[in-house]
Structure 1
């Protein structure tokens, strides 16, 4: 498997949320390699850009949800995935955990929550590669 690129893919079907997350990622000094609103777009962008990290919403437009996209991305690319969801339903969380996510965050995000978790996940990924 080829090395992953030092960028983040943002997947959310709500444009304003995707833009806000992208701004926060850029403010951290990281590159955003793209945004997607559907599982198919997310998979295609992940294959094209090979991001180290994917911020993934659970509910997406079109066929497939965030777990479908994350499972495919994990298999095809190997990116770490942080789920960002508004749902705390047990069935939804159980489905998310089938992908062994790097982290799960709940909307709305507060303060430096995203920054802290992204840094922790990237640091852990760096240690895994060492």
Structure 2
């Protein structure tokens, strides 16, 4: 069981993406919005560890990650332990993928490639809720 003592979320974004160039691009976009990136991870376990350490308000979560677990596995664990809002990012619109994402009650879902203001609009909407 994962326990945390600090319940306050930090004004930062955790980027969880298994493709380095996409993670770097998302990080730059977040910084261009004037927000801090608290870290990046490419596995579910790495995402959970970083979320526990940094307690981000928002997580950009790729659906497919390195290793056995996917983005939903990570999001479910993070939601329970930290309470961060998760914006899923996926390249698939397949019904099975969308059903899997809905298991975590995502704050938003974005489809790759992410264009223009999509990311900004999604983050602003999540932070306003």
* TM-score > 0.5 by shorter chain: yes
List 4+ stretches of structure 1 deviating above 2 A: none
Count, aligned residues? 124
For residue 49 of structure 1, what is the aligned residue in structure 2?
54
Q: Does 1:65 align with 2:65?
A: no
Query: Aligned partners of 2:92, 2:49: CA distance in 1, in Å?
Result: 26
Unmatched 5+ stretches in structure 2:
1-5
TM-score, normalised to structure 2's length? 0.94
Higher helix share: 1
Query: Aligned partners of 1:73, 1:106: CA distance in 2, in Å?
Result: 22
Q: Does 1:16 align with 2:16?
A: no
SS of 2:88's partner is: strand
For residue 115 of structure 2, what is the aligned residue in structure 1?
110
TM-score, normalised to structure 1's length? 0.94
Instruction: Give the root-mean-square deviation of aligned CA atoms.
Output: 0.7
For residue 128 of structure 1, what is the aligned residue in structure 2?
none
Q: Does 1:39 align with 2:44?
A: yes
Unmatched 5+ stretches in structure 1:
125-130
